Amino acid sequence: MNTMSTNKNIKLRQLGQTDIYISPIGLGCWQFSEGKGGAAGTWAPISIEETNGIVQAVLNGGINWFDTAELYGWGRSERAIARALKKSGKIDQEVIIATKWNPIGRTAWSITRTIGKRQECLNPYTIDLYQIHAPFGFTTRRSEMNAMADLVESEKIRSVGISNYSARQMRQAHEVLRSRGLRLVSNQVRFNLLDRSIESNGILDIAKELGVTIIAYSPLGLGLLTGKFHKNPELLSNRRWLRRYQLRRKIESSRELVNTLEEIAQAHGVTATQVALNWLINFHGDTVVAIPGATKVRHAEQNVGAMTFTLSNTELSQIDNLSKQFM
């Protein structure tokens, strides 16, 4: 069990009800897909040197876990993480690896059939958390959860998570795993100050009830919470048309929130980005962790910095009140 982080000031959190402990912020690794698979048109390829530097930067800052997926470049992201971790000198017991099975067009049989490929891509690092990427498989929830339980029992993975599941689907998955003597560990969902729907649709309530960790992806609202698009809307021209539309429609409604994030950031000597991440991983206690990505070392260092200061209850509430419109 990994219970220590490089930065002794960062308190690790229990992942679900397991003996796995993770930093409040992990590294999302979709960007390491080399522009292939689910990253096509979203992420430009990142050099091996930059990838290695990003991974080393987060390790230096106390981040101890990495979230990837089969769909992220069809194994390219997994291999990039393994390569970078080996370069850093980290051994298996010092890091936590989370990856995901792609359910699209597949049945539960594929879960056990393809686990060898996931292990090969991540070698020599083991899979601590294996997640079903979305509730879109061609077989029942029971079949998929039973297949995941089989992997735990055969010691090919340590724990089971899900992604993009509704509150009802979470409970179904939990019940099947409980029948096998296991627990559902996590649900990875979109959650940020501009999309707080999990607080109103039951997902967060069920997570707290069942002791499930919420892993927040897109924690910076596609970059809108950085404030850069508010200052210079022309930057949106670099985004795909759908992302451009999604961001533009929220610029004015989020302006007061972003201005407040910047004011609070100045008081702490940090950035608005770091304040947004800090709120996300602390407002609901230990239930929520986040996986911001990084395409440059400076992004990785900024993500790490979000864990190094404490927002007051007044500041947490102020941010909460300004962002409630996005629940």
Identify each DSSP E strand in the chain by its residue range.
13-14, 21-22, 27-28, 65-67, 96-101, 129-132, 160-163, 184-190, 213-217, 288-290
Token couple for 327: 């629940």
Catalytic residue, chosen from 21, 72, 125, 217, is: 72
Pairing of strands 129-132, 160-163: parallel
Residue 270 to residue 263: CA distance in whole angstroms = 10
Residue 15 to residue 239: CA distance in whole angstroms = 34
Q: Is 217 a residue of the active site?
A: no
Q: What single string gives the DSSP state of each residue in 93-159?
A: GG-EEEEEE--TT--THHHHHSHHHHHHHHTTS-BSEEEE--S--SS-HHHHHHHHHHHHHTTSBS-
The structure tokens 């039973």 sit at: 146
Amino acid letter, residue 162 = I
Q: Cα(first)–Cα(last) distance of the chain, in Å?
A: 36
Active site amino acids: 72
